[in-house]
Amino acid sequence: MHRPLLTLLLALAPGISPAAADATRPVSLPGAFEFLLPIAEGEDYRVLVWRPPGEPPAEGWPAILALDADRTFLTLADLVRSQSRNPEATGVRPMVVVGIEAAKDARDRRARDFTPPGGANAAEGGAEAFRAFLETAVKPTVNRVAPLDPKRQALFGHSYGGLFALWAATAHPGDYALYAAASPSLWWNREATLGADLAAIARAKPAVLVTVAEYDQADDPLTDRPGHAEKLAERRMVDNARAFAARLADAGVPTFTAEFAGETHGSTVPAAAARAARVASFVFRSPSR
């Protein structure tokens, strides 16, 4: 511990001895662990896992996989850990939480991995390969240490991750029982995903959750970012999310939506994660799952 901080602590709490104050240790989340998985030679991903206490159900644990683990995993894991203790009151039931993030160069990797095929930028459009990585490497590895129910799995993504979730829902609707997209970047590639073919998802009928923040399309009055309001207005994130959700509902897909007042594109993550955990718990307990 830095000495100035230690001195301040002792001044605020004079009953603490210097020896006790120095006896610090990292805070950990019980039931959580992580490992590395290669997606390609020399390129690893961190996979963070939290599993509920006790023995898994006979069919395996339900699970929610969260992209951008550095921003989503601890929020989701602690939310599920605390709220699943009283599911009748919270609506959140025990489930495994899995977070995935690139071990390095995460910003570049997410632009590649979360964007669908067909874009003009050669450094993007790697969604198919990343989806295969989740299905053939991440899920089977997690399953060995935390048995998963293949019929009760959810995918949660924010921004580019939300774009990936909606692309995966239409291109591979059998991978998850719920696809949860928070503030999805449907503006990408001239809104190409907004007009995706819904025939496959209309047949498979997984559930889809689409959330947006009030200030996804207008600048937050508490901030001062010159030119940002114009950028948000051009991307039409709220309008696009509403339009895509409406298309899904019209196609007969079980669709859930939420718009979070007072939140920005970044601050909406905890609220969207909480809603995803509740909707996943609702979808997982359906007799058809």
Q: Which residues are marked as active site?
A: 159, 230, 265
Kindly state the tokens that stand for 235: 């991307």
Q: How far apart are CA 115 and CA 199, in angstroms?
A: 21
CA atoms within 13 Å, Cβ hemisphere of 189: 23
DSSP character for 159?
T
Task: Name the nearest CA neighbour of 154 among 1, 12, 50, 283.
Answer: 283
SS3 94: coil
Alpha-carbon torsion, ordered 184, 189, 201, 127, to 10 deg: -80
Instruction: Look at the alpha carbons of 274, 78, 132, 282 in this order and tell me if their dihedral is positive or negative.
Output: negative
- Residue-wise burial string across 223-242, b where 16 or more C-beta atoms lie within 10 A, e elsewhere: eeeeeeeeebeebbbbebbe
Alpha helices in the chain (DSSP H): 3-12, 18-22, 69-83, 87-90, 106-113, 127-133, 139-145, 160-171, 188-191, 199-204, 228-235, 237-250, 269-284
Kindly state the tokens that stand for 112: 């590649």
φ, ψ of residue 267 in degrees (nearest 5): -75, -10
